[in-house]
Amino acid sequence: MPKIAMLSTGEEVLYGDIVDTNAAWLSRVFYEHGFSMSKRSTVGDQRTALLQEMVMLSLNLDVVIVNGGLGPTSDDLTAEVAAEAADLPLVLNQAWLQTLETFYAQRGKPMPDSNIKQAMLPEGATVVDNPIGTACGFKMMINDCLFYFTPGVPSEFKKMTLEQILPDLRHEYPNQQGRVCRRLYTFGLSESGIADTLSSINLPPEYELGYRSYLPFIEVKLFGPSDDLELGSRVLAMVEKLLHTNVVSVDQPMLDRIGHLVETHQPTISISEHATKGYLASWLQDNEQIEPYCGATWVLGYKTASPLDRNSERLGATLALAGATKSNCSSDIALSTGKLEDGEFSVALSTPKGEWGQTLKLQRSYNAQSIKTVISTVAGDMLRRYLDNKPMFPDYGFLTRTNEIFVPTDQLT
Amino acid sequence: MPKIAMLSTGEEVLYGDIVDTNAAWLSRVFYEHGFSMSKRSTVGDQRTALLQEMVMLSLNLDVVIVNGGLGPTSDDLTAEVAAEAADLPLVLNQAWLQTLETFYAQRGKPMPDSNIKQAMLPEGATVVDNPIGTACGFKMMINDCLFYFTPGVPSEFKKMTLEQILPDLRHEYPNQQGRVCRRLYTFGLSESGIADTLSSINLPPEYELGYRSYLPFIEVKLFGPSDDLELGSRVLAMVEKLLHTNVVSVDQPMLDRIGHLVETHQPTISISEHATKGYLASWLQDNEQIEPYCGATWVLGYKTASPLDRNSERLGATLALAGATKSNCSSDIALSTGKLEDGEFSVALSTPKGEWGQTLKLQRSYNAQSIKTVISTVAGDMLRRYLDNKPMFPDYGFLTRTNEIFVPTDQLT
| pLDDT given for residue B296 in this prediction | 47
**Averaged pLDDT score across all residues of chain B:** 87
Peptide bond into A167 cis (omega under 30): no
Are B4-172 and B179-251 equal in CATH topology?
Answer: no
Contact of B79 with B51, CB cutoff 8 Å: no
| Alpha-carbon gap: B18 to the closest alpha carbon of chain A (Å) | 8
| Full-model pTM | 0.75
Considering A59-63, A173-177, B105-109, B293-297, the range whose residues carry the highest mean pLDDT is A59-63
Q: Is B46 helix (H, G, I), strand (E, B) or coil?
A: coil
A196 close to B (CB below 8 A): no
| pLDDT given for residue A214 in this prediction | 74
Count of CB contacts below 8 A, A vs B? 202
pLDDT reading at B297 higher than 60 = no
Among all residues of chain A, which has the CA nearest to that of B3?
A49
Q: What is the ipTM of this complex?
A: 0.72
User: For residues A353 and B342, what is the distance between their CA atoms, to the nearest angstrom?
Assistant: 39
Chain A hits for B179, CB-CB cut-off 8 Å, are none
CA B92 to chain centre: 43
DSSP code at position B17? S
- Residue B192 and residue A24: Cβ atoms within 8 Å? no
- Residue A14 and residue B40: Cβ atoms within 8 Å? yes
| Alpha-carbon gap: A288 to the closest alpha carbon of chain B (Å) | 9
Contact of B403 with B410, CB cutoff 8 Å: no
pLDDT reading at B399 higher than 80 = yes
Q: Is A250 helix (H, G, I), strand (E, B) or coil?
A: strand
Across A164-178, A204-218, A331-345, B361-375, least confident range: A204-218
* Confidence bin at B106 (pLDDT 50/70/90): confident
| pLDDT given for residue A302 in this prediction | 37
For residue A13, count other CB atoms closer than 10 A to its CB: 25
Please, which residues have CB within 8 angstroms of residue B387's CB and are 6 or more apart in sequence?
B258, B261, B262, B264, B265, B267
- Residue A299 and residue B302: Cβ atoms within 8 Å? no
| pLDDT given for residue A64 in this prediction | 98
Cβ-nearest to B43 among A39, A73, A114: A39
Chain A hits for B280, CB-CB cut-off 8 Å, are 278
* Confidence bin at B159 (pLDDT 50/70/90): very high
pLDDT reading at B243 higher than 90 = yes
| pLDDT given for residue B309 in this prediction | 43
A167 close to B (CB below 8 A): no
Average pLDDT over residues B78-89: 96
| pLDDT given for residue B46 in this prediction | 84
Of B103, B98, B51, the closest CA to residue B77 belongs to B51
Higher per-residue confidence, A140 vs A296? A140
- Residue A282 and residue B15: Cβ atoms within 8 Å? no
**A298-316 per-position pLDDT tens digit:** 554 433 334 444 444 788 8
- Residue B301 and residue A278: Cβ atoms within 8 Å? no
| Alpha-carbon gap: A88 to the closest alpha carbon of chain B (Å) | 24
User: For residues A207 and B334, what is the distance between their CA atoms, to the nearest angstrom?
Assistant: 57
A352-362 burial: b if 16+ Cβ within 10 Å, else e: eeebbbbbbeb
Which of B179, B273, B297, B311 to probe by mutation at the A interface, max A CB count within 10 Å? B297
Helix (H), strand (E) at residue A64: strand A63-67
The dihedral sign for the CA sequence A246, A249, A253, A258 = negative
Among all residues of chain B, which has the CA nearest to that of A48?
B38
| pLDDT given for residue A296 in this prediction | 47
User: For residues B291 and A275, what is the distance between their CA atoms, to the nearest angstrom?
Assistant: 12
For chain A, give the percent of residues with pLDDT over 90: 50
- Residue A114 and residue B25: Cβ atoms within 8 Å? no
Higher per-residue confidence, A397 vs A137? A137
A39 close to B (CB below 8 A): yes
User: For residues A318 and A309, what is the distance between their CA atoms, to the nearest angstrom?
Assistant: 9
Cβ-nearest to A16 among B28, B49, B286: B28
- Residue B14 and residue A27: Cβ atoms within 8 Å? yes
- Residue A16 and residue B37: Cβ atoms within 8 Å? no
Any idea which fold B255-411 has?
Maf protein (3.90.950)
Which of B277, B333, B361, B399 to probe by mutation at the A interface, max A CB count within 10 Å? B277
Q: What are the phi and psi torsion angles at B332 (to 5°)? A: -70, -40
Cβ-nearest to B38 among A21, A46, A291: A46
Within chain A, what is the greatest distance between any pair of CA atoms? 82
- Sequence ranges of the domains in chain B: 4-172, 179-251, 255-411
| pLDDT given for residue B17 in this prediction | 63
Higher per-residue confidence, B108 vs A26? A26
How many residues are given for chain B?
Answer: 413
Chain A hits for B281, CB-CB cut-off 8 Å, are 277-278, 299
| pLDDT given for residue B298 in this prediction | 56
Of B161, B41, B3, B11, the closest CA to residue A14 belongs to B41
What DSSP letter does each residue of B50-63 carry, written as one string? HHHHHHHHHHH-SE
The dihedral sign for the CA sequence A193, A191, B159, B50 = positive
CA atoms within 13 A on the CB side of B58: 18
| pLDDT given for residue A306 in this prediction | 44
Considering A363-377, B49-63, B292-306, the range whose residues carry the highest mean pLDDT is B49-63
For chain B, give the percent of residues with pLDDT over 90: 51
Average pLDDT over residues A268-294: 82
Average pLDDT over residues B378-390: 96
**A355-401 per-position pLDDT tens digit:** 999 999 998 778 888 899 999 999 999 999 999 999 999 998 889 99
pLDDT reading at B310 higher than 80 = no
CATH tag, B179-251: 3.30.70.2860
- List for chain A the helix, strand, coil content (%; round to 5): 40, 25, 35
Any idea which fold A4-172 has?
Molybdenum Cofactor Biosythetic Enzyme; Chain A (3.40.980)
Cβ-nearest to A60 among B14, B52, B199: B52
Chain B hits for A19, CB-CB cut-off 8 Å, are 19, 24
Query: Beta A247-250 vs A179-187: how paired, if at all?
Result: antiparallel
One-letter amino acid identity for A386?
Y
Backbone φ/ψ region at B2: left (φ over 0), alpha (ψ -120 to 50), beta: beta
**A192-208 per-position pLDDT tens digit:** 778 888 888 899 988 98
